[in-house]
Protein backbone atom coordinates (compact mmCIF):
# COMPACT_ATOMS: atom_id res chain seq x y z
CA UNK A 1 0.00 0.00 0.00
CA UNK A 2 1.58 3.23 -1.16
CA UNK A 3 -0.10 6.55 -0.49
CA UNK A 4 1.19 9.85 -1.86
CA UNK A 5 0.37 13.08 -0.07
CA UNK A 6 0.72 16.15 -2.27
CA UNK A 7 1.23 19.48 -0.57
CA UNK A 8 2.28 23.02 -1.36
CA UNK A 9 4.41 25.24 0.81
CA UNK A 10 3.85 28.97 0.80
CA UNK A 11 7.18 30.26 2.15
CA UNK A 12 10.86 29.38 1.76
CA UNK A 13 11.08 27.68 5.14
CA UNK A 14 7.96 26.13 6.59
CA UNK A 15 6.95 23.21 8.79
CA UNK A 16 3.64 21.68 7.70
CA UNK A 17 1.82 19.37 10.10
CA UNK A 18 0.88 16.25 8.11
CA UNK A 19 -0.29 14.05 11.01
CA UNK A 20 -3.99 14.26 10.09
CA UNK A 21 -3.29 13.33 6.47
CA UNK A 22 -1.31 10.28 7.57
CA UNK A 23 -4.01 9.17 9.99
CA UNK A 24 -6.59 9.62 7.21
CA UNK A 25 -4.56 7.28 4.99
CA UNK A 26 -4.40 4.74 7.83
CA UNK A 27 -8.21 4.89 8.05
CA UNK A 28 -8.56 4.64 4.26
CA UNK A 29 -6.62 1.36 4.21
CA UNK A 30 -8.34 0.11 7.39
CA UNK A 31 -5.05 -0.55 9.19
CA UNK A 32 -5.56 -1.40 12.84
CA UNK A 33 -2.02 -2.50 13.74
CA UNK A 34 1.15 -2.11 11.69
CA UNK A 35 3.90 0.22 10.59
CA UNK A 36 3.99 3.45 8.61
CA UNK A 37 7.09 4.33 6.63
CA UNK A 38 7.30 8.01 5.67
CA UNK A 39 9.68 9.09 2.91
CA UNK A 40 10.34 12.57 1.51
CA UNK A 41 11.70 12.29 -2.08
CA UNK A 42 13.33 15.73 -2.14
CA UNK A 43 16.87 16.94 -1.42
CA UNK A 44 15.80 20.28 0.08
CA UNK A 45 13.03 19.05 2.38
CA UNK A 46 12.73 16.68 5.31
CA UNK A 47 10.46 15.20 7.96
CA UNK A 48 10.51 15.36 11.74
CA UNK A 49 8.46 14.72 14.86
CA UNK A 50 8.03 17.57 17.30
CA UNK A 51 5.64 19.44 19.56
CA UNK A 52 2.22 20.42 18.26
CA UNK A 53 0.82 22.38 21.23
CA UNK A 54 2.96 25.52 21.11
CA UNK A 55 3.67 26.94 17.61
CA UNK A 56 6.65 28.80 19.07
CA UNK A 57 8.56 25.51 19.16
CA UNK A 58 8.47 25.28 15.36
CA UNK A 59 9.33 28.99 15.09
CA UNK A 60 12.36 28.43 17.36
CA UNK A 61 13.55 25.45 15.28
CA UNK A 62 13.29 27.51 12.09
CA UNK A 63 15.02 30.51 13.71
CA UNK A 64 17.94 28.54 15.14
CA UNK A 65 18.58 26.35 12.09
CA UNK A 66 18.53 29.47 9.91
CA UNK A 67 21.13 31.10 12.17
CA UNK A 68 23.35 28.03 12.10
CA UNK A 69 22.90 27.55 8.33
CA UNK A 70 22.08 30.97 6.83
CA UNK A 71 20.64 31.25 3.35
CA UNK A 72 23.50 33.41 2.12
CA UNK A 73 26.93 32.23 3.16
CA UNK A 74 30.11 31.22 1.38
CA UNK A 75 28.69 28.07 -0.22
CA UNK A 76 30.20 26.41 -3.29
CA UNK A 77 26.86 25.24 -4.71
CA UNK A 78 25.79 28.12 -6.96
CA UNK A 79 22.05 27.41 -7.06
CA UNK A 80 21.49 29.46 -3.91
CA UNK A 81 19.96 26.73 -1.77
CA UNK A 82 22.91 25.04 -0.08
CA UNK A 83 21.46 25.82 3.34
CA UNK A 84 18.34 23.90 2.28
CA UNK A 85 20.38 20.84 1.29
CA UNK A 86 22.24 20.89 4.60
CA UNK A 87 19.04 21.21 6.66
CA UNK A 88 17.43 18.40 4.66
CA UNK A 89 20.38 16.12 5.39
CA UNK A 90 20.31 16.92 9.09
CA UNK A 91 16.56 16.48 9.55
CA UNK A 92 16.41 13.43 7.30
CA UNK A 93 13.94 12.17 4.74
CA UNK A 94 12.45 9.16 6.51
CA UNK A 95 10.50 8.19 9.62
CA UNK A 96 9.17 4.81 10.67
CA UNK A 97 6.20 4.82 13.03
CA UNK A 98 4.00 2.31 14.82
CA UNK A 99 0.30 2.17 14.02
CA UNK A 100 -1.76 1.15 17.04
CA UNK A 101 -5.55 1.03 17.26
CA UNK A 102 -5.86 2.61 13.77
CA UNK A 103 -3.70 5.67 14.55
CA UNK A 104 -0.06 6.67 14.63
CA UNK A 105 1.41 5.91 18.03
CA UNK A 106 2.61 9.35 19.07
CA UNK A 107 3.12 11.14 22.37
CA UNK A 108 0.49 13.58 23.61
CA UNK A 109 2.21 16.65 22.16
CA UNK A 110 3.82 15.05 19.09
CA UNK A 111 2.98 15.64 15.43
CA UNK A 112 4.65 14.79 12.14
CA UNK A 113 5.99 17.79 10.24
CA UNK A 114 6.97 18.05 6.61
CA UNK A 115 9.96 20.43 6.65
CA UNK A 116 10.20 22.76 3.65
CA UNK A 117 13.60 24.41 3.31
CA UNK A 118 13.47 25.68 -0.29
CA UNK A 119 9.94 26.82 -0.99
CA UNK A 120 7.49 27.76 -1.98
CA UNK A 121 7.08 24.51 -3.90
CA UNK A 122 4.72 21.65 -4.59
CA UNK A 123 5.98 18.51 -2.87
CA UNK A 124 5.21 14.86 -2.27
CA UNK A 125 5.28 12.69 0.82
CA UNK A 126 5.37 8.92 0.27
CA UNK A 127 3.67 6.68 2.82
CA UNK A 128 4.15 2.91 2.79
CA UNK A 129 2.18 0.75 5.19
CA UNK A 130 2.93 -2.65 6.63
CA UNK A 131 -0.31 -4.10 7.97
CA UNK A 132 -0.41 -6.81 10.64
CA UNK A 133 -2.74 -9.66 9.75
Domains annotated on the chain, with CATH: 2-131 (2.60.120.460)
pTM of the model: 0.95
**Distance of alpha carbon 53 from alpha carbon 103, whole angstroms:** 19
Q: What is the pLDDT of residue 133?
A: 73
Of the candidates 74, 80, 48, 41, the one whose C-alpha atom is nearest the C-alpha of residue 62 is: 48
- Residues 43-62 have pLDDT tens digits of 999 999 999 999 999 999 99
Q: What is the pLDDT of residue 132?
A: 86
- Residues 7-46 have pLDDT tens digits of 999 999 999 999 999 999 999 999 999 999 999 999 999 9
Amino acid sequence: MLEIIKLSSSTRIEFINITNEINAAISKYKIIEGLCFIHIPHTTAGVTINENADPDVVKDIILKTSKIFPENDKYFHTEGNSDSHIKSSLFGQTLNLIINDSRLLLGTWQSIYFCEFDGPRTRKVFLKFLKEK
